[in-house]
Amino acid sequence: MNHSPRTTTMAPIPVSDTTGRGGADDHMQAVYNELRRIAAAYLRGERPGRTLQATALVHEAYLRLAGLGQPWVDRNHFLGIAARAMRQILVDGARARGAQKRWAGMDRVSLTETLIAAKHEDAMLSALDDALVRLGEVDQELARIVEMRYFAGLSIEDTATALDISPATLKRRWALARGWLFRELSAS
């Protein structure tokens, strides 16, 4: 299997812009920066409330970018890009914190248990991201579902709408994506 090395920020997301609109990388960069900026503002106490919902984060970024008159202010398209930006931010952060590169020495049981434990989940993000790149090579849609559900925390309905499929179909494909990744990570 082709393991594409992914070490640098942003650049090598092997994605074609399925919506047919151009400039996906620029959009990604804009959303990425915006999400980070909003999160940092919360930390400095410029926004009220200590806890910041991930979805609130995404929506605030959307409102701001839409307000700036970006040409791609289609909400569904935005959600897809925001989900990928979230994935990138979280994986970059995990890598910066010295995440494990493999799921070394983990059997299937501890794999599940490990993902329940939040701290380790962070450490595993790098390996998950690599597996997700491979999944994207097999089936781009499944990779996008994982980005939206897991990395952006979007609901079944929101994800289904954004991908233009029925919620029932989405549920089955989400199950397929989880099974595929679980197999991939268990084997590594």
Partner 1 sequence: MGTRPGLAVSGIERVVMTPDERWKRVKALFELALEQMPPNIDAWLDQQGETDEDVRADVLSLLRHQERSGSFLNTPIADQAPDLISESHPLQEGQVVDKYTIVRELGRGGMGHVYLATEPSLKRQVALKTLAPELAANPEYRERFIREARAAAALEHHSGICTVYSYGEVDGTPYIAHEFVDGRTLRAEIEEGPLPSLEAIHQTAVSLADTLGFAHQHGITHRDFKPENIMRATAGRLKVLDFGLASVTTSAGGPASFVTLTGQGTLMGTLLYMSPEQLRGEKADYRSDVFALGLVLYEYACGVHPFASAQPMGIMANILNSEPTPASMHRGDLPASLVAILTRCLAKNPEGRFPSAVELTVALTSDAPKPRQDAAPAADHMVGWWRTHQLAVIALYLTACVLAWQVKEWQAGHARALFMASCIAAMIGGVLRSHLLFTERVTTTQLTEERERWKYPLTAADLVIALALLADGAILYFGDRLVPAVLTVALGLGIAAGRLVIERVTTAATFAHSDRA
Q: List contacts with partner 1 (CB under 8 A).
A: 35-36, 39-40, 42-43, 51-55, 57, 86, 89-90, 93-94, 96-98, 108, 111-112, 115-116, 118, 121-122, 125, 138-139, 146, 149-153, 169, 172-173, 175-176, 178-183, 186
Give the number of other Cβ atoms within 10 Å of residue 71's Cβ: 9
Q: Which is nearer to partner 1, 21 or 76 (CB)?
A: 76
In the complex, least distance from residue 22 CB atom to partner 1, rounded to whole angstroms: 25
Judged by CB, which is closer to partner 1: 11, or 118?
118
Q: Report, in Å, the least distance between residue 166 CB and partner 1.
A: 12
Nearer CB in complex with partner 1: 24/82: 82
DSSP 100: -
Strand, helix or coil for residue 93? helix
Cβ-based nearer residue to partner 1, 24 or 35? 35
* Minimum distance of partner 1 from residue 40's CB (angstroms): 6
Q: 75 with 84: CB under 8 angstroms?
A: no
User: Torsion angle, CA of 115/13/34/154, rounded to 10 degrees?
Assistant: -50
**Minimum separation from the CB atom of position 69 to partner 1 (A):** 26
Residues 3 and 134 sit within 8 Å (Cβ to Cβ):
yes
- Ordered DSSP codes for 24-81: HHHHHHHHHHHHHHHHHHHHTT-SS-S---HHHHHHHHHHHHHHTT-TT--HHHHHHH
* CB of 31 vs partner 1, minimal distance in Å: 13
